[in-house]
Amino acid sequence: MKVTIVGTGYVGLVSGPCLADVGNQVLCIDTDEEKIRGLQDGVIPIYEPGLESLVRSNVESGRLRFSTNLSDGVDHGDVIFIAVGTPPEEDGSADLQHVLAVAEGIGDALIEFKVIVNKSTVPVGTADRVSEAIQSRLESRGNKIDFAVVSNPEFLKEGAAIEDFVKPDRIVVGADCDRARSIMRALYTPFNRNHDRLLLMDIRSAELTKYAANAMLATKISFMNEVSNIAERVGADIEAVRLGIGSDPRIGYHFIYPGCGYGGSCFPKDVKALAQIAIKSGHKPELLEAVERVNESQKNRLVEMALSHFGEDLTGKCFAIWGLSFKPNTDDMREAPSLAVIKALSERGAAIRAYDPVAKTEAQKQLGETASLEFFDDLYDAVDQSDALLLLTEWKEFRAPDFHRLEQKLISKVIFDGRNVFDPKVVAMHNLSYYSIGRRPVLVESQ
């Protein structure tokens, strides 16, 4: 099948190579000429495990191409995916200007039946607006051409996106015509062989499903963080509580890990956008608003612990930070808790020495590098000359550190663990004070 994907951001750049890898002819379109030149030369602008080799092999086979010409993309694809960004407006609602601009471009170039697929995360009713934009351009040309608009939201986890695409737990397709449904079923057949994962529904339900899924996961995280704050105050261990409730199959173990808040390109944006959808439909989204409030507060939980330990004035103190990206296996810094933590510590006079396995470049773009903020290529170099260590992202290489080295290097001998990676007893054995989420701090006497 011939497929066009408009937008080479995270979703488009994963979807294109995955579709090409099963034999489709895929043309990816983007207005960013520099990015397209880079992709043509094999330069991948994001970090995602396995993506670079997947792009390279499909470019070499001729099944995957890149261009800036939308008209060529409309001519090429039997199916045209819209996978451009929908950044939040000031009120949190999704900005659809890029989606509608693509729709208008499709309307300007359309000459035969196509299936246009909304892959971007968009509010309920967007398919109608895309259809209207295309139809308006066709009418201005004096043409009457059939087309179908479909909702096919993505459910890709950063760090495991390729696996999620090729082995999906569900494929949601919202369509209102049989021809479009048949084409979408054929397109996804290579990923649907073990058992039928295709969920066909009406378009508006498909649009809402994406927001509802992310909001539910965000709610589980904020709920667990709320309970962790209670656990700290009543002397309970949130990790024991997590196991106790996760064993209930109605709850399960996924997304009930306490921590220093969620981030990324999806959860924060989608919770806010769904809240705005609710407000515009006349419903007050009290739970969604609470989920967001809890998360924003949780991002500062480690800072509160540091202030409790060192006092309100952190002038002269230096903090090592392990982990900058919002989660492991990605360099995505969007809404990362590390941004809030670094800002809060810096405002109180602290110096920061930061390390991340892959997000250093992205972090430097967002934060810059100043006299009080340095980035390092080695995790133990970051700890040198530091009073305390803050762990913000649970990268695998942090799970079993050399605690003896940390004991020797940390001036104030204290660790603040924002992901509950370490065993408090093991940390204490090395004469290190230890603060974590939802557990009593373990304090050792100053040396």
In the numeric block, the tokens 């890029």 are attached to: 98
CB 82 within 8 Å of CB 150 = no
194 CB contacts (<8 Å, ≥6 apart)?
none
* 260 included as an active-site residue: no
Cα separation of 358 and 345, whole Å? Answer: 23
- State the burial class of residue 313 (Cβ atoms within 10 Å of its Cβ: 0-12, 13-18, 19+): exposed
Name 87's bridge partners: none
Q: Which of 163, 160, 167, 17 is nearest to 81 (CA)?
A: 17
Tallying the residues shown for the chain, one arrives at 447
- State the burial class of residue 180 (Cβ atoms within 10 Å of its Cβ: 0-12, 13-18, 19+): buried
Q: What are phi and psi of 384, to 5 degrees?
A: -55, 135
Cα separation of 294 and 287, whole Å? Answer: 11
For residue 98, the tally of other CB atoms under 10 A from its CB is: 18
Name 374's bridge partners: 353
Q: What are phi and psi of 436, to 5 degrees?
A: -145, -175
Distances (CA, A) of 388 to 126, 229, 361: 48, 22, 23
Distances (CA, A) of 399 to 360, 405, 418, 419: 20, 15, 13, 10
Of the listed 18, 28, 260, 266, which one is catalytic?
A: 266
Cα separation of 267 and 214, whole Å? Answer: 6
48 CB contacts (<8 Å, ≥6 apart)?
10, 13, 14, 158, 159, 161, 162, 329, 330
> What angle (nearest 5°) sits at the alpha carbon of residue 75, between those of residues 51 and 16?
10
332 CB contacts (<8 Å, ≥6 apart)?
10, 46, 158, 264, 265, 325, 326, 359, 362
CB 301 within 8 Å of CB 378 = no
Please give the positions annotated as active site.
266
